[in-house]
Amino acid sequence: MSDDPRHPFLQGLSKHRGTPPTVIVIFGASGDLTARKLIPAIFNLAYDNLLPADFFLVGYGRKDIPHEEFRGIALGAIKEFSRRELNAEVWNRVAANTTYIAGGYDEPEAFRRLAAHIESLEKTLGRDVQTLFYISTPPSVFAPILRNLGACGLAARHLGNSLHTKVIIEKPFGKDLESAVALNGVIREVLEEHQVYRIDHYLGKETVQDLLVQRFSNSIFEPLWNRNYIDHVQITVSEEVGVGTRGGYYEQSGALRDMIQNHTMQLVALTAMEPPVSLDAEAVRNEKVKVLKAIQPLDLAPGGDVVRAQYASGMIGGKGARGYLDEDGIAAQSGTETYAAIRLSINNWRWQGVPFYLRSGKRMARRVTEIAVQFKRPPGTLFAEGGRFDLAPNTLSFQIQPDEGLSLILNGKVPGLETRTQPVKMNFRYSATYGSNTPEAYERLVLDAMIGDGTLFIRGDEAETSWKLYTPVLKAWAAAGREGMDSYPAGSWGPPGAESLMAKTGHVWRQP
């Protein structure tokens, strides 16, 4: 329990959810994600006493790294990237049960060594443990890893009881519908759906989870959460950074694959879903899939539902920034988008006629992820006199990063003898109410996977439904090359085409 008197809202919270004895195996253990997110997440779970007493960490990778060296690498990652300072006592508990196995991802013998190692841990412990495999590798080796887990018997360990094998798969889950279907096919050869945890770290963020709480636990919102009262929804996922040294990767990805199809569509689903019958994982995921299936095919004609663009040179933070085509590793005639804007239409009773606008881009004015729900304007008969009344639409916005919280824009009276109005903002910030040391998304998601809670993970049919919507867009853009590619200066909020997309329905983009 929390003993911090400055944040009374944290008092009385449980620190344990019944995590069983667990071995976590990280494939890609020497990679960047492991260092920046996974090792710090495990350390912080240990710090909060959320790991089981019998916990083992096994790194697996192509590099031949001695156990002690891997522990040293993990220790360095905690010192550099953990949200908490190193606690030697906590780290020593984790380090004592941390080992490393070297091997290829398509090497059956290495997987047999891994299986023997896990069996030896069980024998030493004198009891069964569950094994959680975290696939943190390039997508090209997802299938070999999965097939080898099946071939050596690791996928079927303790199948039929609560200690069955679980597998976390990092994004990208496919690069289009065909590849996503193929990957799901490999998974079905080896695993049952309840063993699979397709991770999207956005779903582990506090504000994303709070979206469901705000919707379904406050009677002032749910009655208004429909086409009768909501005018439109804007979802922005913007970054200040460019592609940096990842030009080669980004050329094969682009904004649509990198952010829209996965992160942003998860935000759409949670915003638009119907109330689930319970908080059971399948009940929540069923409603998310229903929303995605109700989205209408996109109009790909010029002036339709999609806009793409690349950033040109500009200014970021008072410093010059070069354009995308001048970045290292980028083809001179690249047709890869660094910005995408989409207008979605959801064809169901709740959202008919309410557009959902999505945008995501690099080298934009600032880093922010926000869901903004704009309500319809009230009738202007009472406050319609020119100049005296500044009426703004009520807007509820969820700030997901960098400053987690939510705000509500209302119209209020300006103090004085005359009746004048102006918009006012009511703010809630997690850091102010609960303290600034909010758990990282990966902490929540790794813990959920260990205890078998799939609520915040993506189901196979959900991934395929999202790809079904966007694969025609990707094919159309690939066929068009650079034709129709818009541009925007680095440090701006996007291209003119995105403004035109909104203007067709009388809307404008917010500046978060």
pLDDT digits (tens, 9 = 90+) for 56-72: 999 999 999 999 999 99
**pLDDT value, residue 2:** 39
- Beta-ladder partners of 55: 22
**Mean pLDDT across 183-199:** 96
**pLDDT value, residue 17:** 54
**pLDDT value, residue 413:** 84
Structure tokens at 102: 């070297």
Return the axis-axis angle of helices 177-190 and 460-480, rounded to nearest 10°. Answer: 150
How far apart CA 212 and CA 267 sit, in angstroms, is: 11
Q: Does residue 194 or residue 383 have the better pLDDT? A: 194
Distance of CA 225 to the CA centre of its chain: 23
What share of the chain has pLDDT > 90, as a percent? 79
| CATH superfamily ID and name for 203-379+460-503 | Dihydrodipicolinate Reductase; domain 2 (3.30.360.10)
**pLDDT value, residue 30:** 92
Q: pLDDT category, 5, cuts 50, 70, 90?
A: very low
Beta strands in 151-228 (DSSP E): 166-169, 196-198
**Mean pLDDT across 183-195:** 96
Level-2 CATH architecture, domain 8-170: 3-Layer(aba) Sandwich (3.40)
* Catalytic machinery residues: 263
**pLDDT value, residue 75:** 97
Please tell me whether the peptide bond between 402 and the residue prior to it is cis, using omega within 30 degrees of 0: yes
Lowest mean pLDDT among 9-13, 196-200, 332-336: 9-13
Pick the closest to residue 58 from 121, 140, 151 (CA basis): 121
**pLDDT value, residue 393:** 87
For the chain, give every domain's residue range.
8-170, 203-379+460-503
Lowest mean pLDDT among 207-211, 321-325, 483-487: 207-211
Residue 500 has pLDDT above 80, yes or no: yes
Looking only at the bridges linking them, the beta strands covering 339-345 and 306-312 are: antiparallel
How far apart CA 298 and CA 468 sit, in angstroms, is: 11
Domain 8-170 and domain 203-379+460-503, same fold? Reply is no
Write down the pTM of the prediction: 0.91
Per DSSP, 313 falls in state S
Please tell me whether the peptide bond between 172 and the residue prior to it is cis, using omega within 30 degrees of 0: yes
Lowest mean pLDDT among 269-273, 318-322, 475-479: 318-322
**pLDDT value, residue 384:** 61
pLDDT, mean over the chain: 91
**Mean pLDDT across 411-433:** 85
Burial of 382 by CB count in 10 Å (0-12 exposed, 13-18 middle, 19+ buried)? Answer: exposed
- Beta-ladder partners of 135: 27, 169
Contacts of residue 106, Cβ cutoff 8 Å, sequence gap at least 6: 141, 144, 148
Return the axis-axis angle of helices 265-272 and 206-217, rounded to nearest 10°. Answer: 20
Q: Does residue 139 or residue 437 have the better pLDDT? A: 139
Residue 405 has pLDDT above 60, yes or no: yes
Task: Give the tens place of pLDDT for each residue, 131-146.
Answer: 999 999 999 999 999 9
Q: SS3 of 250, please?
A: helix
